[in-house]
Structure 1
């Protein structure tokens, strides 16, 4: 099968391209910019475009599938050529469904926690050598590629994202998967640039629940009021399995899960991670993994990439980085960090980086998000606001919305970096939260 990727360099797209190459497909692609690690990984497989840009001449009648990435625009010249030739054009999730329509599809959805839960499930299955197809949005220890597609596997585990499928398919990605087994971890307004109201955002989850195949299973977080409302209002037939935060204790800096089989030592911390773990346990049960086997495997789970991930520093300082940027994720991450490090001086840095996080209306959601930290720092770039054609935001406005008078606010990278250099990294613990990179800050030094 011959496939061509429009915008092959994306974090999800390049993994799918590699998976298809490994499956024996003929793979080509284009992009206007490709960064690491996508660049090296595509090059290693021999599918890195020789030059950057869009080339309609690459689109030929013998292509079986064109896979369109969200990074491309509606007026992309390669897309126009594919339409002109009448080629089959897939969005990323549409193509994944096509590859898995004869399998049992397990879809993990939610505003927060879905990457970690999916990673936990895959870690347990990998530990017990249970082979499944999968797609997950973060790099996971023990896995070379974060997409796997085979002919023979019976199950496919998919991280279900509520964001749009492609520039020409404005459905939420997870609405294309039609899960047999699903999980919903939580609902908190996100992607405000696409979903203008909270009800519009919630409606995607209503549709997701409605897309569960008849007689399927939904594992859901019963501690989330919005999730419960969506589940209770569903009219289609499926089995409902609720879960909640399990009992645990912290002793000498180590987290222990309290189970019927005794205390289980963990390599991760935070009540939100234990809640995620409980959801993963129920999904693994559906896949034939008994609780005893789940606990044996989960002890060695160290977390998904950039989810409370410890950074090894030259000075041996204690620093964690986290992808958290949406309000609900920031609040959960800060709470976990403060609970884990009660005695140490705690520094928390947050970069407001996305369109949503810089929207004045959406900023209301960050109230008290940084409470509990000894030093709370927010960084956003005034230049980024200009590039996004957004109105200027004052540091005072940020403090007001965070409801934190002690908040330090930096609006340019140079000032932030200068402040960073004044801090003794071995005196205290540091939490760095961003989907960006704090203006190029090196966290290892």
Structure 2
């Protein structure tokens, strides 16, 4: 892709990462057009403010008659999309999101953070540190981060790009994992725990995607990996250490004092941070190793880390009083649910923990996958599972019974709710003296009023 490209058209421009890419390209001064059959907030307002919101929702092949210099195809589009077909007929170059990011960063050092869990947090820690130090860098991350008005930034002069490397498919045509297409120089594998059963039907197939990712590390490249994860070791065990730097990491040395996490360091002494949980203490070490490779001194890393509050919806504090805290977390995959539940309980061992997880994704609602949740909520004093029967109907999946969920979680004491109003009533009516609430979901609990819930509890 040449630098003089002027006009880009995005198919499925309303997606979370796609609309951020559209905004980033608009920021660069390029002409940006796009289409989507559904555009929700905040994408709708953000595109409108930039003046690049499509006039109508839907697909309009005639838009391609203007012959844009390139088309970017979002994963949300179907293979038979009429705009895609017109672009193919007109021989317009078509890129998936990761292919386009690679094309725009060929002259940069590419740092790709992969893993079933932790990749957003690791990426955001690195970005926060570099921003605090005034370093120039581009990025592509899967969450809105405090201090950054975009999830994507592409410039001509930044020497490096930090990329959250999702293992899910790049687009509906090539069906290649995104992180295989960035061609990293430095890679991180934070953990491997089977997910996306609709694409990777068994754990071995899923792990193979990370093996391929690891093997794509070039000569003189670096692979930073979670040395305590058995699946990571199977996928990324050092194969050619003479050519590649392999750096293993574990949990950062620490202690917990009065609900605060204190890092112990050799040269910087004790460092109080705002993050907590064993998984985040691994994420910190992964980010530290990346920063070290790109010239960040340990002192500067820890100073910047003190002000890092975490990524949105990753153990995000919703509110607190003298005896209760409410956290919201994006966790929905089994490993994430387990790690997040344990983190909150370990941080406040003297308080009851009410943990609520919503089963919302194709994998989490699949009866063949459900046993992966065994023990995931065991650390909670009250464990609650919510799902909407409408979601199952929409995905054309078999209904799940309460007993099937109890057996899958291997926890006969879990409470199961399928109605958000009933769940909200249950939560608001219980005693919250010396008790914390943890809400885990990539969805909305079928539009449960979280603001009213917070007000009732606190």
- In the TM superposition, residue 420 of structure 1 has moved relative to its aligned partner by 2.7
Correspondent of 2:427 among 420, 433, 437: 420
8 Å CA contact 2:238, 2:246 repeated in 1: no
1:95 aligns with 2:100: yes
Greater mean alpha carbon deviation, residues 227-236 or residues 119-128: 227-236
- For the residue of structure 1 that corresponds to 2:170, the secondary structure is strand
1:86 aligns with 2:98: no
- For the residue of structure 1 that corresponds to 2:53, the secondary structure is coil
Aligned position for 1:242:
248
In the TM superposition, 1:16-35 aligns within 5 A as: 16-35=21-40
1:272 aligns with 2:279: yes
Q: TM-score, normalised by structure 2?
A: 0.95
- In the TM superposition, residue 427 of structure 1 has moved relative to its aligned partner by 4.9
| Distance in 2 of aligned mates of 1:139 and 1:86 | 35
Correspondent of 1:197 among 197, 202, 206: 202
- For the residue of structure 2 that corresponds to 1:41, the secondary structure is helix
| Distance in 1 of aligned mates of 2:48 and 2:66 | 26
Aligned position for 2:456:
none
Aligned position for 1:132:
137
| Distance in 2 of aligned mates of 1:438 and 1:174 | 30
| Distance in 2 of aligned mates of 1:343 and 1:421 | 21
In the TM superposition, 1:151-300 aligns within 5 A as: 151-232=156-237, 234=239, 237-260=243-266, 261-300=268-307
| Distance in 2 of aligned mates of 1:209 and 1:165 | 18
- In the TM superposition, residue 313 of structure 1 has moved relative to its aligned partner by 7.1
8 Å CA contact 1:61, 1:85 repeated in 2: no
- For the residue of structure 2 that corresponds to 1:165, the secondary structure is coil
| Distance in 1 of aligned mates of 2:190 and 2:237 | 15
- In the TM superposition, residue 414 of structure 1 has moved relative to its aligned partner by 3.0
- In the TM superposition, residue 61 of structure 1 has moved relative to its aligned partner by 4.8
8 Å CA contact 1:347, 1:430 repeated in 2: yes
Aligned position for 1:430:
437
**Number of equivalent positions:** 445
Aligned position for 1:357:
364
- In the TM superposition, residue 424 of structure 1 has moved relative to its aligned partner by 4.3
- In the TM superposition, residue 127 of structure 1 has moved relative to its aligned partner by 0.7
- For the residue of structure 2 that corresponds to 1:312, the secondary structure is strand
- For the residue of structure 2 that corresponds to 1:390, the secondary structure is coil
Residue deviations 1:185-213, cap 9 Å, x none?
01100101100111110111111012122
Quote the RMSD (CA, aligned, Å): 1.5
8 Å CA contact 2:9, 2:70 repeated in 1: yes
Aligned position for 1:371:
378
Residue deviations 1:299-318, cap 9 Å, x none?
11110010000113799952
Correspondent of 2:73 among 36, 59, 68: 68
